[in-house]
């Protein structure tokens, strides 16, 4: 039961972060690129904004993929790393809400952070034992030497 709850928490966190990534990738192509092309900013500022936007989308996608891996192989990554990523999403949520007033993304990041932190609390201490493999049986007797 605990392992299943842990998995669901990590999968919900991964889904929320994938939603953030899709939101930012979609808005890059349909809103940001058009807005930056129409504002005639300095090339350095224009390219920096584009790079930061895409970096945020990629980092949300990569962390979501990490959560997917952790959902099915809990001890592939340490618990502390998952807690730090959950705290990072809380920080991003606060920054996006304060500066961008983005309720959708802030809500998704909050959901991801809450479920990841809950998953870290439900972290499985020990995985269920895998079925033991039997040693191969030799059919010919071995003579002692």
- The answer to whether residue 58 is domain-embedded is yes
The residue to which tokens 């299943």 are assigned: 4
Residue 40's pLDDT band (cuts 50, 70, 90): confident
- The answer to whether residue 143 is domain-embedded is no
Residue 133's pLDDT band (cuts 50, 70, 90): low
- The answer to whether residue 139 is domain-embedded is no
- The answer to whether residue 130 is domain-embedded is no
- The answer to whether residue 32 is domain-embedded is yes
Task: Give the tens place of pLDDT for each residue, 77-121.
Answer: 888 888 898 888 888 888 877 787 778 888 888 888 889 888 888
- The answer to whether residue 106 is domain-embedded is yes
Question: For residues 29 and 32, what is the distance between their CA atoms, to the nearest angstrom?
Answer: 6
Contacts of residue 70, Cβ cutoff 8 Å, sequence gap at least 6: 10, 76, 77, 82, 119
The total domain count for the chain is 1
Whether residue 32 is predicted with pLDDT greater than 70 in this model: the reply is: yes
- The answer to whether residue 134 is domain-embedded is no
The domain of 75 spans 2-121
| Predicted TM-score (pTM) above 0.95 | no
- The answer to whether residue 82 is domain-embedded is yes
């Amino acid at each position: 039961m605990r392992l299943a709850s842990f998995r669901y928490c990590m999968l919900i966190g991964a889904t929320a972060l994938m939603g953030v990534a899709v939101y930012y990738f979609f808005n890059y192509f349909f809103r940001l690129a058009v807005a930056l092309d129409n504002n005639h900013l300095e090339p350095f500022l224009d390219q920096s904004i584009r790079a930061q936007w895409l970096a945020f989308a990629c980092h949300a996608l990569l962390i979501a993929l990490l959560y997917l891996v952790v959902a099915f192989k809990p001890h592939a990554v340490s618990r502390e790393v998952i807690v730090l990523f959950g705290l990072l999403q809380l920080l991003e949520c606060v920054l996006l809400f304060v500066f961008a007033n983005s309720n959708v993304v802030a809500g998704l990041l909050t959901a991801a952070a809450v479920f990841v932190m809950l998953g870290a609390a439900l972290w499985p201490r020990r995985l269920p034992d895998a079925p033991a493999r039997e040693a191969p049986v030799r059919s010919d007797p071995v003579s002692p030497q």
